[in-house]
Amino acid sequence: MSLFRTEQLELGSIPARDPSPPSPWTSGSVLLTGATGLLGSALLESMLASTEARVVCVVRGSNDADAEGRLRTEIARRRLAVDWARVEVVRGDLAAAELGLAEVTFSRLSQRVDLILHAGAEVAWWGELDRVAATNLDSLRTMAAIAGRGRSKRVAFISSCAVFNADAYANAESVAEEPLAADPSGLRSPYVQSKWAGERLCSAISACGIPTSILRVPYLLPHSRHPIPNLAGAVDLLIDAAIRLEVAPEVGPTLPLCPADHCAERIVQILRAPLGPASIHHVAPFESLPWSILLAAAHQEGLLCRSMPSEAWFERAREASRERRELRPIVTLLSRDPSRTLWSRSNICRVRFDDAATRAAIPDLPPKSALEADCLRRFVRSIATTVARGEPAERQARPAE
């Protein structure tokens, strides 16, 4: 079973929409999902810091106050700066019909919001299919329903570069900011399938006259200034396990990597530009980064001075994980990967993410650069600190697919 047949959209009749809705950035409002998460929290910080917009965050909780408490706790834990006077929190569950919102709230959001920025998702790579479908796809249908009522507004959908691991791109040297190939064969995890289906759903939404933007996000590293390891992230987990075992695998992926705050800033820059009715963007501020550079950053921190062949490293991790529970997430993740190297032979470890269309729309974007060595060292150090505190890597892993 897969999510490939889920791009149907039943919106009923919707009133005519303005293909260029009013900008939310001076006196309007943005509806943001996923604000407690790695990227969503950085998006919240970035929007509030660089614009005048108000932000309505849809957050899980037992009621609005509990949802707001959860968001405040998470923002404080991440040490982010948020102007709470411009934030409203609404309790909502992405997996529930109409987000579980009362009709009056649903209607108020439809009337008030100028942009929907849908960053919330079930991101566990091998998450249960029904839950992934409800959280990642039914929620997008609900966003379309909100966009189809009240004032005209854009739906911006956070997708993933991992959609290019489909077989259709096996021979591609470069991938463009265009709709995906129709054949999704090769995408195995329900999570990545949901991103593929979400992009297809966006096409159906824009065909209804609702403007959409798809933002294909690279693999996220923690916030560059306040790195807190993301122990649902595959690269974080691999480094974590290597530090715990005091030896690294020799081979790893070359990935499009971006700290969450840089990614959020780029997304806000893109969404502030005049955009077409169905825009697609590669959020690609940095060159892809080889595993060897991450290892070099670890060496500079006095960590991981030894490495060994990947298959042998995997066997060592598997053996050690019998006793050491904290190694199980990476072992479980790599068990699904025939190369035992976080899919280092997959398409996204090879292709170039062409962002020419975005650069043409926003000429003052800085050129792609290499991620600073200092940032990588802070990232590795933050993981080493977590390991030294004896904190476990226990959340379910997220893809580097």
Positions in the binding site for ligand NAP (CB under 6 A) = 34-40, 60, 93-95, 119-123, 135, 158, 160, 217, 219-220, 232-233, 398
Tell the smallest beta-carbon distance from residue 39 to ligand NAP (Å).
4
Q: Taking every pair of C-alpha atoms in the chain, what is the biggest distance, in angstroms? A: 63
Tell the smallest beta-carbon distance from residue 164 to ligand NAP (Å).
12
CA distance 221 to 225: 11
Per DSSP, the three-state class of 42 is: helix
Tell the smallest beta-carbon distance from residue 369 to ligand NAP (Å).
19
Tell the smallest beta-carbon distance from residue 36 to ligand NAP (Å).
3
Provide the 10 A C-beta neighbour count for residue 52.
Answer: 12
Closer residue to ligand NAP, CB minimum distance, 43 or 275: 43
Closest CA to 193 of 125, 242, 258: 125
Closer residue to ligand NAP, CB minimum distance, 121 or 275: 121
Backbone phi, psi, residue 368, to 5°: -55, 140
Closer residue to ligand NAP, CB minimum distance, 144 or 247: 144
Closer residue to ligand NAP, CB minimum distance, 232 or 387: 232
Closer residue to ligand NAP, CB minimum distance, 37 or 190: 37
DSSP 313-364: HHHHHHHHHTT-GGGHHHHHHHHT-TTSSSSTTSGGGT-EE--HHHHHHSTT
Q: Which residues, 6 or more positions from 161, have their beta carbon under 8 angstroms from its beta carbon?
A: 216, 217, 218, 219, 256, 282, 348, 353
Q: Which residues, 6 or more positions from 305, have their beta carbon under 8 angstroms from its beta carbon?
A: 299
Closest CA to 258 of 370, 398, 363: 370
Cβ-proximal residue to ligand NAP, closest one? 37
Closer residue to ligand NAP, CB minimum distance, 232 or 245: 232
Tell the smallest beta-carbon distance from residue 347 to ligand NAP (Å).
15
Tell the smallest beta-carbon distance from residue 157 to ligand NAP (Å).
8
